[in-house]
Amino acid sequence: MTDLLTNDAHVLSSMLADGSLSCVELMQATLTRIAEANPKVNAIVSLRDSDQLMALAREADNSPRAGWLHGIPIAIKDLTDAEGLPTSQGSPVFAGQIAQSDDVLVARLRAAGAIIIGKTNTPEFGLGSHTYNPVFGATVNPYAPSRTAGGSSGGAAVALSTGMLSVADGSDMMGSLRNPAGWGNVYGFRPTWSLVPDHPSGESYFGHISTKGPMARSVKDIAALLGTMGGIESGLPYGMTVPDLTELDVDVKGRRIAWLGDWGGAIPMELGTLDAAENALETWRGIGCEVEAIKPPFSIEEMWESWVTLRSWTVGSGIEALYDNPKTRDRLKPEAVWEIEQYRKMPASAVQRASAQRSDWFRAAARLFERYDAVILPSAQVWPFPLDWDWPKEIAGRQMDTYHRWMQVMVPVSLIGLPALCVPGGFNAAGLPFGLQVIGPYRGDRGVLELGQAWHRATGWPQKRPPQL
């Protein structure tokens, strides 16, 4: 990539503000990099016409600065509407369907001056942590082109790691921005649930287990983008204001970190993944944190029972109309059909039980965070797997009984909406990247990002080890 595009977004923003860089120069460099890299990785889809984008860059150069993102190119995850661009959701059912308006997230990015250049690839309906679909094909891992980039924000992670974007949006139900961040050697932040609002449409009260969040190559960019994405939306019955995220460079010496590893052996891990994560703990100790391995604070199987119920309830209810329509049923991926069928046979008592189990885990986690500032878990149970797999069917001799059981390590965060930053953890001997989840208490977003900034100062993995395409 060009030297210009190795800069973080906040650096590019300063250069644009002081006139040492023009929006036209940045857009031209971005389009050149996309032309070089994207054919090899397939991360950005529905790219807008280059002449049109250059015209928008010229317009930005001749307009007052709208915000810190003024003139910075961004592509939107293809689950979110951006006016004038397709929102395929990776599904042939929606291929080519043009959004007539912006979702709240996109409107906030535009208001801050971002130029929307296209979309980033995602699996069909965002289901599964492997970015492939029948509309655009697979996004490949730039560190190992025969392997997956993860998902569902796989396109965003790869666009960041290859320098095609400096910041990106992701979304996360079951690790959808944490997993690809770890496998892409970048950062992905799942904020406390409700800090970044959904688009106000449809049912707004029940079943909330997903959230949008920022992705970037530095924690400062994560914080800046979170400030733009987050905050209360008047059309929703919930929400949070963004905490003060300035001055993240603080001394974290003495902060207590709990290491949960494989949850006392309950979560199967591929050979080498746990060792790599445990080796990375030495970096935390090196920056002055106190790291302690602890026993599981709650039953992972109870969490799983609650999670599968609430996820199928949420996903199935959202797409069941496609199942009922004979013109679209046969075009749904098997995982989507499974979620709908699970939802339809679910009694109300199962949802109540799942909610009670979730509540029990929330209270147990609150007690845990009375003793620790953060909890760390691996960001994946396996190394990036071959592109031609649908999903891992077995880990360490244990069969996976659902298409998403191999992502169980993500559930403790997702089930109760805790803030979690995936930080790049380094690489194994084969050159495959991995990540760590740094998890904080509910509404503890700033503390998590402070730890993440300390980690970035100590490691700088995205800058030290960019992919060589």
Catalytic sites, residue numbers: 77, 152, 176
Distance CA 71, CA 107 (A): 15
Residue with tokens 């503890």: 444
Enter the tokens of residue 353: 């039980």
Three-state secondary-structure class, residue 210: coil
Residue with tokens 């996004």: 139
Name which of 225, 162, 163, 239 is nearest 188 in CA terms.
Answer: 225
> CB 26: neighbour CB atoms within 10 A?
24
Torsion of CA 42, 75, 214, 421, to 10 degrees: 10
- Please, are residues 437 and 207 in contact by the beta-carbon 8 Å criterion? no
Distance CA 181, CA 205 (A): 29
Distance CA 404, CA 152 (A): 12
Radius of gyration, CA atoms only, the chain = 21
* 3-state percent helix, strand, coil for the chain, nearest multiple of 5: 40, 15, 45
HSE (CB half, 13 Å, CA atoms) of 16?
32
- Output the furthest CA–CA distance in the chain (Å, rounded): 62
Distance CA 114, CA 214 (A): 14
Burial (CB < 10 A; 0-12, 13-18, 19+), residue 40, is middle
Enter the tokens of residue 372: 């620790």
Three-state secondary-structure class, residue 226: helix
Name which of 67, 29, 76, 22 is nearest 48 in CA terms.
Answer: 76
